[in-house]
Structure 1
């Protein structure tokens, strides 16, 4: 099933490219700064949140702005990719009714367009690494690995949510609440050490916590992730992709009845 899906994506790669280009053009239409907003937005938010949390809560985190930026960039990608993928079937109702196409390309195009924004946000991290004069470690070369885990996780959840949102429109509103709660369950602006054991037990089941920690290890702390770190991230990513793919394949045949 996975091999056949990959072959279809390759066969329809031109369509995928056009869908991604369309999303990017729509997002930055009539914007003077365009793609630069993907660079400026995380930097501006980092400045604001850093001032608030460093002065009010005074968490003792070394290189707190970079710590915050690493978590923020990854979470923003997840939030944007899954939310856009959730709307992908409804937004492309006219296209689905007119031509045949592998429908799972629609959520994939949303996640891929979010990847373009992620790449610009990574430039913001590089700028902060240079400005902060943080020591660069060779482990930074491993930064694509957690991003691959995050991409697979986001696509899997995007597939699942696109089905739910097509069949039950209320899920669109519920998911926004879930994402908001997930943000506070992910140690983006606070150290996980401040959590009581009961709260940490819950956060430990959050895949974004493990992926964000992996990313910080290789980019910020110069620590080589363990085999266990990789296995946990792989389990979450592949698990989400399999569940999302199975649910999507089972229910996609009835999309025309609900869009």
Structure 2
């Protein structure tokens, strides 16, 4: 029993130390980002709104009329989740290279640098929810218990991002051009996630392909159903999102742990 308590205490101490380091790294990155911008924190709030307005103006006549009386909210839900995913995973590309000196000179667990990027993206996401809540109130959507399902949906997205982020961070050290390819990938991902169009306009085969092959579309669909429609999302959507989140995290963690020592040795 004494040994078990020691192990638990050691794990708790490690967690507290990691959280302190992550917090300091988040503060550092925020200062770096805000030092080069005039609007600072305000940009994190209004950026999703600007994206929504642009997409509604561009695609509103094409996809909005007759398909949804709440098209702006439909778009904003998609851009908010998409923004969380792309910003977090993109920042992970530089998680190791941007902390090269720390990796070489300190004994901090290497996965902390990826965790920090995801936490920073989540922090920005919380700011964007202020605009999201405002638009929900604007459409007078009454609160529902289904809104609580938005929390596990976001958690699954974060877990998936952690796994993908670890893979991207390692690959970027040896293949820096992955940054450009990933930008192209996220562009395709945006058009393939039904952010500004309704998926029911596609053929049944395309709908199935998007649901099965695009986990980002799945988590966006869950958010729309539980928040906008005040419905309980189909269990199949939850199953697909859970499999992708768990699979990405496991594969990413194994890949990261196997490669990290070689990566540090080469720096």
2:30 aligned with 1:21, yes or no?
no
* Counterparts of 1:39 and 1:73, CA distance in 2: 11
* Counterparts of 1:7 and 1:173, CA distance in 2: 39
Deviations 1:59-111 (A, max 9, x none): 51231100100110100110010010111101101111111111111011001
1:35 equivalent in structure 2:
41
CA RMSD of aligned residues (A): 2.0
2:58 aligned with 1:52, yes or no?
yes
Change (3 A) 1:151 1:50: same
2:17 equivalent in structure 1:
11
* Counterparts of 2:146 and 2:205, CA distance in 1: 32
2:128 equivalent in structure 1:
121
- Does the CA-based 8 Å contact 1:167-1:258 persist in structure 2? no
Match of 1:203 among 193, 202, 210: 210
Give the structure-1-normalised TM-score. Answer: 0.92
Q: Displacement, 1:198? A: 4.1
Q: Displacement, 1:196? A: 2.4
- Does the CA-based 8 Å contact 2:80-2:125 persist in structure 1? yes
SS in 2 for 1:111: helix
SS in 2 for 1:12: helix
Match of 1:64 among 71, 74, 78: 71
Q: Displacement, 1:6? A: 8.5
2:235 aligned with 1:227, yes or no?
yes
2:93 aligned with 1:86, yes or no?
yes
2:221 equivalent in structure 1:
213
Following superposition of structure 1 onto structure 2, how do residues 226-245 of structure 1 map, counting pairs within 5 Å? 226-245=234-253
* Counterparts of 2:206 and 2:233, CA distance in 1: 24
* Counterparts of 1:30 and 1:6, CA distance in 2: 37
- Does the CA-based 8 Å contact 1:187-1:209 persist in structure 2? yes
Comparing 156-165 with 228-237, greater Cα deviation is found at 228-237
- Does the CA-based 8 Å contact 2:63-2:196 persist in structure 1? no
* Counterparts of 2:11 and 2:113, CA distance in 1: 13
2:162 equivalent in structure 1:
155
- Which aligned segments of 4 or more residues in structure 1 are displaced greater than 6 angstroms? 3-7
- Does the CA-based 8 Å contact 1:82-1:158 persist in structure 2? yes
Comparing 24-33 with 90-99, greater Cα deviation is found at 24-33
Q: Displacement, 1:5? A: 8.5
Comparing 213-222 with 131-140, greater Cα deviation is found at 131-140
* Counterparts of 2:93 and 2:15, CA distance in 1: 19
* Counterparts of 2:266 and 2:199, CA distance in 1: 42
Runs of 5+ consecutive residues of structure 1 not aligned to the other structure = none
